[in-house]
Amino acid sequence: MEIDKLCPMCGGSEIGKGRTIGQGGMVPIKSLMKGSMVYADICTECGHILSMRVEKPEMFKNKN
């Protein structure tokens, strides 16, 4: 998916993609399981994070 949005903070148009490393992943708050990788869209001008999302959103459903 191509990203063609602008940074709401500085108007920059170059949006980079980042991901967490090491222990920076996100885990369900009640879980001790291995976490899910977190991806972020980052403005390469000012560093503003436009959005973050996890690799495995189904892990965070409240069903039990």
- Residues at the interface with Zn ion (CB under 5 A): 7, 9-10, 12, 43, 45-46, 48
Q: For 58, phi and psi rounded to 5 degrees? A: -65, -20
Q: Which is nearer to Zn ion, 45 or 55 (CB)?
A: 45
As measured in angstroms, the least distance from the Cβ of 19 to Zn ion is: 19
Sign of CA dihedral 53, 24, 5, 48: positive
Q: Which is nearer to Zn ion, 43 or 54 (CB)?
A: 43
Q: Which is nearer to Zn ion, 27 or 48 (CB)?
A: 48
